[in-house]
A = this chain, B = another copy of it.
Amino acid sequence: MKRIGKQTIEFENAPSVIGHGAVGGRKEAGGPLGADFDQTFEDTTLNTDSWEKAEAQLQKEAVAVALASAGCRAEEVDFIFAGDLLNQCISSTFGLRGYGMPYLGQYGACSTMAQTLLMAAVMVDSGAADRAAAVTSSHFCSAERQFRTPLEYGAQRTPTAQWTATASGSVIVGKGGRVRIQRALAGKIVDLGVKDPANMGAAMAPAAADSICQFLEDTHQRPQDFDGIFTGDLGAVGSQLMLDALKGEGLDLTTVHQDCGLMLYYREAQDVHAGGSGCGCSASVLCGHLLRQMEKGELKKILFCATGALMSTTSQQQGESIPGVCHIVQLEG
């Protein structure tokens, strides 16, 4: 590994994706990427007796699929990096406790998929691991009742609000896979003072702009060098703000940018307002759709830029703004 520019690391020993899995709920199955999920569940309780247990089960299933696609057993994975949105990251703990993998919990809110993938690649590239796993999840019902209101209230959502995906994605990183992990950037916390928890896209957009700008500068690349620059999950409002901010820096991403939150659902027909969100959104878009596209050769070189809003209900109640972060991983087929 070596550092390039101010903030980017370049992998030198070709860590790559040797297995991946994406699982989701009924709504995700009915979206435009439904066919790219390895498994979807019509009953989003997954036969458990709570939404939190259902979310843990999603992680367990995603890792099982990823392990199977890598053709390896849990005991052959040297580290698992996992995280989610629930308090104390319980979806990860309870979903993964049965696997017996050395466990390093991560918290990056909705940026967690990029963070766990970055860390897994670091471990493999450095020789600390032969194989390392990354996984994250979210569940609409567990997130709503923890962060917003009980589902039974039937609260109205604002047009800027995003829909937390019921989904999980997992990657097994090793050597010899078809998609290589080439570079990565860990983002800084960026806080421009947005306080509206129903407009997370706006809160995270400045961090996305900051990280993407820095990454392109560090690596001397231009937006058009990529087949796609995928943010996750800025939604409609945040995406536009990010594009505007980058235009101010002389970077035009309009032709290469897509947002995982805008890819996962039929926005109007599925009534998701500004788009999808949640750790599981960008995770399942990456692990289901994007990696499949790369393996088919339909995408060659992409940036996966996952964004997170680092707030809690307590910080909101105490009048704090919503700090954002964006971590980036460069993948090449």
Contact = CB atoms under 8 A, between A and B. Distances in A.
| A interface: dominant SS | mixed
A90 B186 contact: no
A78 B88 CA distance: 26
A109 interface: yes
Interface string A169-198: 000000000000000011111010000000
Interface stretch (A148-156, A281-289, A318-326): A318-326
A315 B89 contact: no
Contacts of A159: none
Given A3-B78, A122-B123, A128-B1, A103 B189 contact: yes
Contacts of A89: 107, 310
A128 B103 CA distance: 21
A132 to B, nearest CB: 10
B7 A94 contact: no
Contacts of A97: 189, 191, 323
B106 A105 contact: yes
Contact of A103 (B123, B126, B325): B325
A265 interface: no
B311 A88 contact: yes
Contacts of A320: 90, 94
A83 interface: yes
Contacts of A83: 107
Interface string A300-317: 000000000011111100
A90 B3 contact: no
A136 to B, nearest CB: 12
B189 A312 contact: no
B189 A93 contact: yes
A310 B86 CA distance: 12
Contacts of A7: 78, 102
A255 to B, nearest CB: 28
A53 interface: yes
A151 to B, nearest CB: 15
A297 interface: no
Given A1-B127, A88-B87, A318-B50, A105 B186 contact: no
Contacts of A186: 79, 102-104
A106 B103 contact: no
A134 B312 CA distance: 22
Contacts of A119: 104, 119
A123 B119 CA distance: 10
Nearest to A78: B3
Contacts of A88: 85, 87, 107, 109, 310-312, 315
A282 to B, nearest CB: 16
Nearest to A310: B93
Contact of A122 (B102, B109, B128, B188): B128
A261 interface: no
B312 A90 contact: yes
Closest 6 CB pairs of A and B: A126-B126, A105-B107, A88-B312, A102-B186, A93-B310, A97-B189
17 contacts: A3-B129, A7-B78, A7-B102, A88-B107, A88-B109, A89-B310, A90-B312, A93-B189, A93-B310, A93-B315, A94-B320, A102-B186, A103-B188, A103-B325, A105-B106, A119-B119, A146-B314
